[in-house]
Amino acid sequence: MTITNSYTRQPTKFDYAEPTKFKFTIIKLPKVEFFVTTANLPGISLGVAEQITPLKDIPLPGDRLQYDTLNIQFLVDENLENYREIHGWLTGVGFPKNYEQFQNVQGAATDRFPTTENVGTSKELGAVKKSIQDEGGLYSDATLFVLTSKNNSNLEVRFRDLYPISLSGLDFNQQATDVNYLTASVTFEYKIYEFANVGGSATIETTS
């Protein structure tokens, strides 16, 4: 490596990311986003294949990506409106009271990004049919905003075709002496997440 290349490889930003500098929004859950207290950027892993040889098995890159679940925690309002939003989403999909309730969830407005026509085309997945988008309210899109030290949006992490798989219970306690507010946690699965510039229509990976 030459000295010139060493200079060009120097970082341009020296500020560190802070765990408190974030904002999380879910298009389908407007009553939840204001109360979100924690959110994670899920891990990602690639499986490993092995080529068997007489001396030593050689590890090779696998052919399948595995995304960890998205987990958030939020404060529950006193009317349980934000809690009931997620509860209704789960029951409407997994255990509706009747077929009409399921149709109402399925036929709801598509909770997608404005660039819906581009959803399903990504560097990781390639061209994907839009059948999932046609299922209306079963899925939603979400965004994790990474903020700067001045609380300005610096980066977006966009989750595609997200849906809840679990919602924690609420523990009421008459013996509590300190002022504690009820919190709930919810776990989501999703198709993929991508990094994007703030307000940009294309993800960073697909930008030339």
Please identify which residue in the block is written with the tokens 């390639």. 126
d(CA 181, CA 185): 13
Distances (CA, A) of 158 to 47, 52, 77, 115, 166: 23, 39, 26, 12, 21
**pTM for the whole thing?**
0.76
Confidence class for position 108, pLDDT limits 50, 70, 90: low
Percent with pLDDT over 70 in the chain? 72
Asked if pLDDT for residue 16 goes beyond 90, the answer is: no
Quote the mean pLDDT of the chain.
Answer: 80
When pLDDT is averaged across residues 4-13 and rounded to a whole number, the result is: 72
- The reported pLDDT for the residue numbered 4 is 59
Domains of the chain in start order, with CATH, are 14-43+59-200 (2.30.110)
